[in-house]
């Protein structure tokens, strides 16, 4: 959380770029405090309260039941047992997010490197193309995806010519495909930003000095774009963990991710406190992940700060 602190000489403060008054930052900080901080505090408070017997919201009575209910289930036959349902859902979310991150990473590194090695005019065009999906609502894009991978969609029809049956819509595969599709630009862009700054003459030099192709990639290129990779992983993995649109629309409602369960608790189940507890658990796990990422980055000596 270290801000950029350049101990300035007093007289040099005025008029220099990047050194204007910190007061300008107050407004956005205030906005973030309101838009993120307060809802977060509310969620944490709610997670320790009981639910009212009627309606939505909370009853102002302290309880730890919501957290207990995450792991221990009072079964219908009266016995209590370890509740694996939410752990399973969390595991599924984690698993889908890891696959999404790995696949987008594997696709993004070559793509970003390729874009970075084009000439300036082409580069701008290609970056614009990568951001093109943002012009369309994510909901519509996911609907589009659904049409394309439907059993009777273009892929299915094409494969039917060769008598190959195609049925992936409403399976976990479809959910993961949807996640990969949506998050790919978030991986390409930061990696590209790092790659663009990379001096490719260094790679040439390494090659000239006798390094093998893979050695150049491993020892010269990858370390240079590592900050971009780490940002990309954070930008993909964390939001993927909290996704629910893809599992809802492409997974056929069967491949529940944790956000689907949270949504149901704030909706039909009308159990805001439990939904809050689940949300807090997700936040804690996400934070844990970020801290680990940061630890890895710091050990490597990269200047990447995620928290």
Partner 1 sequence: MASNKRRRASYVAALAAASALLLSACGGETTADSGAGEATAAAGEFPTTGSGVVNVYNWTDYIDPEELKRFTAETGIEVILDTYDSNETLLAKLQSGATGYDVIVPSDYMVQQMIELDLLQNIGVSSFPNGGNIKDNLVDVYWDAGRNYTAPWNYGTTGIACNFAAEPGCANIKSWKDYFTAGLPKMDSLKDQVEVVSAALRATGVGPDDLCTTDKAKYVAAEELLAGFKPAVIESDGGIERVVAGTSNVRHAWNGSTHRMTVENPDVQFIYPSEGINLWADNLAVPVGAPNLDNAKIFINWMMDPKAAGAQSNFSGYDNGIKGSDAFMDEALKTDPAVVVPADKQALISPLPNCGEEARELYTQVFTTWTTSQ
Using CA atoms, how far apart are residues 282 and 206, in angstroms rounded to an integer?
A: 44
Smallest separation, CB 55 to partner 1 (Å): 6
Should residue 243 be labelled a site residue for partner 1 when binding is judged by CB under 8 A?
Answer: no
* CB 153, min distance to partner 1, A: 10
Question: How near is the Cβ of 127 to partner 1 at its closest, in Å?
Answer: 35
Helix, strand or coil, per DSSP, at residue 84? coil
Q: Which of 110, 144, 223, 267 binds partner 1 (CB under 8 A)?
A: 267
Among 261, 293, 297, 304, binds partner 1 (CB under 8 A): 261
Which of 136, 205, 269, 284 is close enough to bind partner 1 by CB under 8 A? 269
Q: Does residue 252 belong to the site contacting partner 1 (CB under 8 A)?
A: yes
Report the site for partner 1 in 9-68 (rule: CB under 8 A).
53-57
Distance CA 135, CA 237 (A): 22
Please count the residues of the chain. 307
71, 87 contact by CB (below 8 A): yes
Q: Is 93 exposed, middle or buried (0-12, 13-18, 19+ CB in 10 A)?
A: buried
Percent helix / strand / coil, the chain, rounded to 5: 70, 5, 30
Say how many residues touch partner 1, by CB under 8 A: 31
Contact string 162-201 vs partner 1 (x = CB under 8 A): --------x-------------------------------
Applying CB under 8 A, which of residues 16, 59, 85, 118 lies at the interface with partner 1?
85
Residue among 19 and 167 whose Cβ is closer to partner 1: 167
Q: Measured between alpha carbons, how far is residue 275 from residues 20, 155, 166, 201, 263 in Å?
A: 43, 38, 37, 53, 7
Considering the rule CB under 8 A, would residue 268 count as an interface residue with partner 1? yes
Burial class (CB in 10 A: 0-12, 13-18, 19+), 258: buried
Stretch that binds partner 1, among 2-10, 25-33, 83-91, 193-201 (CB under 8 A): 83-91
Indicate whether 2 belongs to the interface with partner 1 (CB under 8 A): no
List C-alpha distances in Å: 228 to 188, 195, 221, 239: 9, 8, 12, 17
**Interacting span for partner 1 (CB under 8 A) from 39-47, 186-194, 259-267, 287-295:** 259-267
Q: Classify burial at 279, counting beta carbons within 10 Å of its beta carbon; exposed 0-12, middle 13-18, buried 19 or more.
A: buried
Q: What's the closest the beta carbon of residue 1 comes to partner 1, in angstroms?
A: 33
Judged by the rule CB under 8 A, the positions of this chain that interact with partner 1 are: 53-57, 76-78, 85-86, 88-89, 150-152, 170, 248-249, 252-256, 261, 264, 266-271
């Amino acid at each position: 959380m270290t801000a950029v602190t350049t101990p300035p000489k007093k007289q040099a403060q005025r008029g220099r770029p990047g050194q204007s008054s910190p007061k300008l930052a107050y407004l956005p900080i205030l906005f973030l405090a309101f838009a993120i901080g307060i809802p977060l505090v509310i969620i944490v408070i709610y997670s320790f309260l009981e639910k009212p017997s009627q309606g939505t919201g909370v009853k102002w009575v302290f309880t730890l039941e919501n957290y207990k209910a995450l792991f221990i289930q009072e079964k219908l036959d009266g016995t209590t047992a370890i509740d694996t349902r939410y752990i399973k859902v969390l595991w599924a979310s984690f698993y889908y997010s890891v696959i999404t991150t790995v696949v987008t990473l594997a696709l993004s590194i070559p793509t970003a490197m390729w874009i970075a090695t084009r000439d300036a005019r082409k580069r701008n065009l290609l970056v614009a193309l990568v951001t093109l999906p943002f012009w369309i609502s994510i909901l519509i894009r996911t609907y589009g995806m659904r049409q394309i991978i439907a059993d009777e969609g273009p892929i299915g029809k094409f494969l039917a010519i060769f008598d190959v049956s195609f049925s992936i819509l409403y399976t976990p595969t479809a959910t993961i495909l949807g996640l990969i599709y949506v998050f790919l630009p978030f991986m390409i862009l930061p990696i590209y930003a790092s790659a663009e700054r990379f001096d490719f003459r260094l790679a040439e030099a390494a090659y000239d000095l006798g390094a093998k192709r893979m050695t150049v990639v491993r020892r010269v290129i990858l370390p240079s774009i590592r900050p971009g990779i780490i940002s990309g992983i954070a930008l993909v993995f964390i939001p993927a963990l909290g996704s629910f649109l893809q599992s809802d629309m492409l997974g056929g409602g069967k491949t529940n991710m944790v956000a689907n369960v949270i949504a149901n608790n704030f909706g039909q189940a009308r159990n805001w406190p439990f939904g809050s507890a689940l949300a807090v658990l997700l936040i804690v796990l996400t934070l844990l992940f970020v801290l680990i990422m940061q630890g890895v980055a710091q050990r490597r000596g990269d200047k990447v700060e995620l928290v």
